Chains A and B, each alone.
Chain A
Amino acid sequence: MKAKGELQEYKVVGRKLPSEAVPNPPLYRMRLFAPNHIAAKSRFWYYISYYKKIKKNAGEILQCSKRSEPRPGRVKNFGIWLRYDSRSGTHNMYREYRDVKVASAVTACYRDMGARHRARPGSIQIMRVEEVAANKCKRKHVQQFHDSKIKFPMRRTVLSKKQQNAPRFTTNKPNLFF
C-alpha cells in the first residue's frame, strides 16, 4: 500500500463465497485505513488471506463504506498498536498521537514510522487504534498537552523579510518574538 495523502477510515465486511457445504459462511469485518476504497478492498484481502483461509477469487466483499469522524471538533489522544517489519525482524509497537481525527492520527503514524524507523507502509500493519483517555496516556510528548491552563509563548524562528535584509552591522537587536 502507498499511504498517499491523508488516509481515510473504511469499514469492510466480507466472507468466503457460499458453497453447498457451507451455505452461510461467517462474516469478517475490518476497520481499515487506506487512501481510497480500492486500496481498502485490496488491504482487506491482504489481511483476510493472511489470517483466514479466504482468497479474493473465493470470497466476496459485502460492504466497503467510508467512516467519517463523529466528533472532529474535539482533540483526542489516539493509541495505535502496530506491527512492522524492520530490516532484521518484525516488532510490535505502541505509539500515541494527539489529533482531531482517527484517520489523521493513523496518517501521522505512517509518516512517523517512515521517519523514525524507515518503515515503508507495506511493512506496517495497524493492529488496533483506540481513543485513549488523557490519564491513561503513556507517552510524555502527548501528556505534556494535558493541561487545562496550557500556556506557552510563540517564538519567532524565521526573521521577517525586513530583518533578513538588514545591513551586516546594525545597532538594533533582532525582534525574536511576536
Chain B
Amino acid sequence: MVYKKFIEIGTVVYINLGPHAGKLAAIVNVVDQNRLLVNGPCSKVPRCVVNLKQIKITQFRIKMPFGARAGVVGKAWEKANINALWAETKWAKKIESKAKKASLSDYDRYKLMKIRQKRSKIIAAEVRRLKKSAKSQ
C-alpha cells in the first residue's frame, strides 16, 4: 500500500461537507491530527478550520509557506492555474454532470431517454452485424 497523496502545506483539497461544500481550498496550516486551517481566496472559501473528515485530497499542490496570508495563497493559486486544471479533471467533470442530471426537467429526462434508446439501437444493430459476419466466416 503506497500513499500517493499527502496532507501537506499547499495541498489543494475539495471540501465535501460543511458550509463550504463543493469548493476547493488550499491547506494553510495543520491545527492537529484531525483539523486543518484552509483558505481558498480564488474559490470563495474564507480562512477557516475544517475537519479531515470533511475534505478529500486532490492531486494538486501549490507552492506557499505555512501560515501564508490570503493574498499570498491567492497569488500562488493563480500562478499554478488551479481553477483551470481542476475543471479539466475527470473528478470535476463528474461533479458537473451529476449536477446537470439532478437539474433536468421531466421533458429533458424524456429527451435523454429517447437519445439513449437511439444510441443503444445503433450499437445493437452493429453487434448483430458483426456476429452475423463472424458466424458466416
Quick check: A75 and B31 within 8 Å, CB to CB?
Answer: yes
- Tell which of A32-40, A86-94, A151-159 binds the partner: A151-159
- Residues from chain A with a CB closer than 8 A to the CB of B49 are 100
B82 at the interface (CB under 8 A from A): no
State the CA gap A148–B47 with chains docked (Å): 19
Question: Are A145 and B30 also in contact (CB < 8 A) when A100-B49, A154-B52 are?
Answer: yes
**Contact at B31–A100, with CB atoms within 8 Å?**
yes
Chain A contact patch, size range: 10 to 19
Segment at the A interface, from B3-11, B93-101, B110-118: B3-11
* Shortest Cβ distance from residue B129 to the other chain A in the assembled complex, whole angstroms: 35
User: Contacting B37 at CB < 8 Å: which of A100, A148, A152, A178?
Assistant: A100
Q: Does A176 contact B (CB under 8 A)?
A: yes
Q: Is the CB of B37 within 8 A of A75?
A: yes
Known contacts A75-B67, A177-B1; decide if A152 and B31 are in contact (CB<8 Å): no
A178 in contact with B5 (CB, 8 Å): yes
Contact digits for A87-109, partner B, Cβ 8 Å, 1 yes 0 no: 00000000000111000000000
Task: Mark contacts of B105-131 with chain A using CB atoms, 8 A cut-off: 1 yes-contact digit, 0 otherwise.
Answer: 000000000000000000000000000
Asked if A153 and B3 make an inter-chain contact with CB atoms under 8 angstroms apart, the answer reads yes
- A145-B31 Cα distance, complex, nearest whole Å: 8
Interface residues, chain B, with chain A CB atoms under 8 Å away: 1, 3-9, 28-32, 37, 39, 47, 49, 52, 56-57, 65-67, 69-70
Could you list 12 A-B pairs, sorted by A, with CB under 8 Å?
A74-B67, A75-B30, A75-B31, A100-B37, A141-B32, A145-B31, A145-B32, A153-B3, A153-B5, A154-B52, A154-B57, A177-B3
- List A residues at the B interface (Cβ < 8 Å): 72-75, 98-100, 141, 145, 148-154, 176-178
Counting from the closest, the 10 A-B pairs by CB-CB distance are: A153-B3, A73-B47, A75-B29, A151-B8, A151-B6, A98-B32, A75-B31, A148-B66, A153-B6, A150-B30
Beyond A149-B9, A151-B8, 5 extra complex contacts between A and B, CB < 8 Å:
A75-B67, A100-B31, A100-B37, A148-B66, A153-B3
